Each structure stands twice: as structure tokens, then as C-alpha cells.
A and B are shown apart, each in its own frame.
Chain A
């Protein structure tokens, strides 16, 4: 997965998007089919109905701050989001995104370089981000080898199965 080139449409989100808005507590123990309908509803109400498979998120600082809930990353993946690019990422969100096989990249300049709906291309392995609409090319922090390995396996559970721990 880390070697693929991802192509899609950018959803530009603000700073400090918390896990409470990515996966509201009131639906914490509902199945993913229910949870995904409430992603970002308190800040971008149209998101869950308008997001398309292949879309990516370009966010500001501290994306995914808050709780340990992996559902924040899992809900986005369930809606078809293929990559998160943010000015900075919460440690827990980044860890969880990688664990569920969703590439999450830190790129300090991305937020300013995109407007809502821009066409985006990302090469997670190389940390290369292109705003196809404007032609601007940006560099993200490269993902450490350890994280690339988990992404390549399709997430940490897939990796665990592959290791045959049982």
C-alpha cells in the first residue's frame, strides 16, 4: 500500500479536528456502518454523504487529537478515504491509522497548498504530495520503515495473522 500512488479529491479540514468529531462518543459501540454516517457531522455535516471512495483528507495542525479510539481512523477508511495528510497529526491517530492500514502523512505546507475539492496525488512511500489542480508539488515527512511494513501488510492485525503467532 505504501508503494501505490493514490489519486483522488481533497477534503480540506481545519486545525484540531478531534476524535470526538471523527467518531462521536454517542455512537462509540455502534457498528462501523452506523459510525461512519456521523463522521465530522458537528463540523462538516455534508462530509459523510458527499465523501467518495478515493478521497483524501488535507488537514491543519493536530489532526485526530483526543481519544485512543481507533474508530476515528477506521470510520474514515470505511467511507473510502485513502490517505490523511496534515500539518501535524496526533500521535494516537497516526498510530491507529497505520494500524488499520490507512496512510497518514505529516506535511507542514499541505494545508495552505490545497483548497476544498482540489485533485490530489500522494505517494505515501516517498512522501510526495501533488496538488494536481494547481500543479504544486510538496514533500511530506517520510514514513519510517516500521510503519511502511505495517501498511504494506494491510494493517497490524493482518501482519499478526501473517506472522502466525497462534
Chain B
């Protein structure tokens, strides 16, 4: 696999401008120029596997007669889905993964409890702007927040990528979203991406890259960008990209990296479509059962009773998300009949929540803190629903049957909306709660 940081291209002489997706795939394919619609064989910079698929991939690798990974230092394995092991079968699966990891000499291995892969890879400094990252998880698009071409692949494709260090890609068309204005208090970038899903549909970016740009993006912190890129996948996107800027540079330096040069699309890049999105009037949003693109302003569905509230996942389990929830919950208690589950996205997030008093505010308000991991979000374990129950959560999917019973309902919203709803016992716009200090 290709190693080394991306180097900015000085020229542009005689070439047509490229957008971010094209720049990423051109570099990975060792080409000066690629254009949407082309197929390329690209060098993979980083490969991610998590516990649902890792053992199977490594078994298959052996079956096809390879039994090594092309670059053990650029292969990351994370045990995050079945954590802590909810069954003997899961424990055995983890045991197998540990054996494979040791045998193959894989450099970066995060065992059960360290956190969710899409939190850990940026947090632990594995993601660099301009690089191509594949993962056996659909939400690998998350790394677009740092300007990396992150995208999900299946197990067979991962076997191919690990064996050869390469994989075929179609260069996607790109839709650019020019974000303007400023978010109102009580509104977050989760509301922005839910709004986009509602407006453009769950296949609104099918086979395409989404490029998030415009003046409002400069004001979005890395946590918010990670949320947006994460859910770009829910619109069908192959990549959900932000150009690397000062925010990216500062984040990389804070997370053990060397910082980055700006990584921008060429000024004369071409796009399939450019949409201007004005953020100033946006209200808190909620996705209604059972599709991510059935989106409504929270005010229009206030009053629907809930049984469970969930704060966590690779979408919204960072310290900024826990803090936003704690600010709503501080000094209050959740409603009778509501279960509030909080799963920090990583051990580091949990540590910071403990140090800063955020965890105490959550627990005093009645929250159960779960081990960092994916359990409730993918309906694996830890917070499943009975028939007729409703859950509002900060995660990324509300498909039928995802969190247990097919007769249960899942609503998706921001951490502030989920916290406000846990307090009242029904879906609640966080702006409609009285602030504890009377503000």
C-alpha cells in the first residue's frame, strides 16, 4: 500500500481541474488526472476491519492462498461491535481475531473497550487528508471529515484489498453543497445532515461523492464534520468530503499527527450539481420511522412518547455530543418510564467525560453509561426494543427491526433533542425546555 503524506499539486498545467474525490482517486491510482465515470485500480492507503467481519476476512485470505496482508502497518483492526462480548460465540470470534492479528503482525489493533472504529481512527491519528481508506463498514465515509477518501467495502473486496494492496473504484460524480449562514442556538450539524437526507433523499447521492463547502463549513468543528461525513452514507454517498483546512490541521496536531497542508478542490473543478444550503433558519430535525429520509422539524412531531433515549454511536458519541446532552440534562432527571443509554464513542471520550464532570451530569440525570461500542446502534445487544416501543437516538439509522423488534420505532435526532426528549418522556425540541438558570 502507498505510504506517505499527500503532497499538494503545484501545477494544473494542461490538466482539467479536479474536485476532491477526483484528486483522491487520481493520487491513489498514480495518475495526473481522472474524471468521473472512469474505473481505476487504486492503491489503498489504509484498510480497516472490525469484529463482525475481521475473522471471516482473515479466514478467506488464508483460503485463497495468501495468508498475509500486503501492508500490516496500514491495516487497522478494531473490536467494537460485540463489546463487551454478549455471547460465547462473540467471545470466540474475538479470540480468533486476536490470534489472526498476532499471526499477521498487524500493527494497529484496538481490543474490546477501546472504542468505535470511526472514532478511534481519527482520534488515534490514522487518518490523513487526501488518502484512500477502505473499511468493512458502511460508515467509513466518516473520514471524509478530514479530507480522506473513506468508503465501505464488503468482505470479498477487503480480501482482495489486503492481498494485493489495491482495489478497483469507479470515480464518482460529485455533488457540492455550499453551506451559508449560521446555525441557531439549539441546532447542530446533525440537524443539517438530517435536513439534507430529508431534502435530497436516502439515494440522493447514490454512487456519488458529496463535497461540503461554503462559508458555514469553516465554522464547523471536527466533531460536527465527522457527524456529517458519517451520515453522507445514508444518502448513498461513496465519499462525504470536507477540504482540509485550519480546523483539520489543528485536529491532526491534537491527535498525534504532523498537521496538514490545505487540501482543496481545484478552483475549476467540475460538479454534477451545486446546491446552496442556507443554515440560518434551520430548526432541530428528526428522522421518523423507518427511513432516514423521512425527516421532519422536531416541533411538528413533539409529544410522541418514547421509552428509550440513546446517545452514542460513530455519528454522535464524541465528547462534544455528550457535553451537549449534559448541558440539557444538568440538574434535572429523565422522565419516569424512560431509559437513557449513553455509549461514549471511545475510552478517551469516556475519560474526558469523567474528568470534565459531563459523565456525572449524565448519571445524576438518570443515564446508564455503556461501554464504548456499537451495540445498541446496530441492534446487536445492549438496549434492544420490545414490540410497540419507541426509541429516539443520536445514531444514523432507523430501519425497521434495527434495534430489536420489527414492531418497534426508531427516531433519529441530535444529542440535544434526544436529551430534551429523555427529560420530558416525549419528543421535544431542546429550545422549548427552560434553561436551568432561567436564561
Are A and B part of the same complex? yes
Per-residue 0/1 for B239-261: is the Cβ within 8 Å of any A Cβ (1 yes, 0 no)?
A: 00000000000000000000000
Q: Which of B39, B135, B156, B402 contacts A25 (CB 8 A)?
A: B402
Stretch at the interface among B24-32, B58-66, B123-131, B326-334: B58-66
Q: Which of B52, B66, B154, B380 contacts A165 (CB 8 A)?
A: B66
Q: Which of A26, A43, A156 contacts B380 (CB 8 A)?
A: A26
- Residue pairs across A and B with CB atoms within 8 Å: the count is 125
C-alpha gap A17/B379 in the complex (Å): 17
C-alpha gap A130/B129 in the complex (Å): 47
B193 CB, nearest partner CB in chain A, Å: 16
Q: Is the CB of B406 within 8 A of A99?
A: no
C-alpha gap A67/B140 in the complex (Å): 10
C-alpha gap A21/B93 in the complex (Å): 23
Q: Which of A24, A67, A89, A99 contacts B157 (CB 8 A)?
A: A99
Q: Is A146 part of the contact surface with B, judged by Cβ < 8 Å?
A: yes
Range, interface on chain B: 35 or more
C-alpha gap A145/B380 in the complex (Å): 38
C-alpha gap A164/B330 in the complex (Å): 61
Q: Is B159 part of the contact surface with A, judged by Cβ < 8 Å?
A: yes
A25-B378, A96-B154, A160-B163 are known contacts. Are A146 and B39 too (CB-CB below 8 A)? Answer: yes
A21-B399, A25-B379, A88-B203 are known contacts. Are A42 and B406 too (CB-CB below 8 A)? Answer: yes
* SS of B interface (majority): loop
C-alpha gap A26/B402 in the complex (Å): 9
Q: Is B236 part of the contact surface with A, judged by Cβ < 8 Å?
A: yes
Q: Is the CB of B203 within 8 A of A65?
A: yes
B44 CB, nearest partner CB in chain A, Å: 14
B66 CB, nearest partner CB in chain A, Å: 5
C-alpha gap A12/B144 in the complex (Å): 36
Q: Is the CB of B39 within 8 A of A144?
A: yes
Q: Which of B81, B159, B170 contacts A160 (CB 8 A)?
A: B159
List 20 contacting pairs A-B, 8 Å CB cutoff, sorted by A: A20-B379, A20-B399, A20-B402, A21-B400, A28-B52, A28-B81, A29-B89, A29-B93, A62-B236, A65-B236, A68-B138, A68-B153, A95-B153, A99-B154, A99-B157, A156-B157, A157-B160, A160-B164, A166-B65, A166-B67
